[in-house]
Amino acid sequence: MDLIPCPSQTVGPFFHLGLTDPYSISNIAGPNVRGERVKLICTMYDGEGVPIPDAMLEIWQANADGRYNHPDDFQGKPIEEGFRGFGRLASDNKGTCVFETVKPGRVPSWKAAPQAPHLEVSVFARGVLKRLPTRIYFAGDPANQEDPVLALVPADRRDTLMAQRDPNKPGVWLFDIYLCGEKETVFFDV
């Protein structure tokens, strides 16, 4: 089968094939990594609420101690074997990506209070020329009230950054990403 570029898509219809297959990473934290186990189900939608079947998500996160698996994190806290701290998946036909990880710990900030547990997210999709950076916070976490980045977001828009517990499945969190429209997710200019 020949893959022929299609002019109607600014980044090309096959961009995620070279970045996800065979480089998909759904398991951000292995089964022996300490912390609260989380199954994160992210679903991406366009402005009309239609699932996006050909998008890609990248996630970076700290471990349960609040340390990133990155050489620029000098906190001196341990990084456990099996903790990647990074995930990348193409969305399926329903616009969904599923990641297995642990709830991240609080990381330092430039303010007095550390940041609330969150995941750093980059969204790539057709019609998007640059990545769309956003965050995923955990609804109901008391640390959200002190998070300096979340405080920069207007109060009536913060819910677009909140993963919600699935009431029927313990450990499962649901997060919807809307690229535009009335429910548009907050994206950051970084």
pLDDT along the chain (190 residues), means of 10: 54 52 85 96 95 94 96 91 95 96 94 92 87 97 96 97 97 97 93
Cβ-proximal residues to 151 (8 Å cutoff; 6+ apart), any chain: none
pLDDT score, position 9: 45
Which of these, 39, 51, 24, 19, lies nearest to 124 by C-alpha position? 19
* Token pair listed for 92: 């399926």
Amino acid occupying residue 150: L
pLDDT score, position 24: 86
| pTM for this entry | 0.88
Element (H, E) at 18: helix 15-20
Domains of the chain by residue range: 15-178
- List strand residue ranges (DSSP E) for 74-150, in order: 86-90, 96-102, 118-124, 132-138
Beta-carbon neighbour count of residue 19 at 10 Å? Answer: 14
Beta-carbon neighbour count of residue 45 at 10 Å? Answer: 20
pLDDT score, position 5: 55
Beta-carbon neighbour count of residue 90 at 10 Å? Answer: 18
Which of these, 27, 17, 29, 96, lies nearest to 67 by C-alpha position? 29
Architecture of domain 15-178: Sandwich (2.60)
DSSP string, 147-159: -TTGGGS-GGGGG
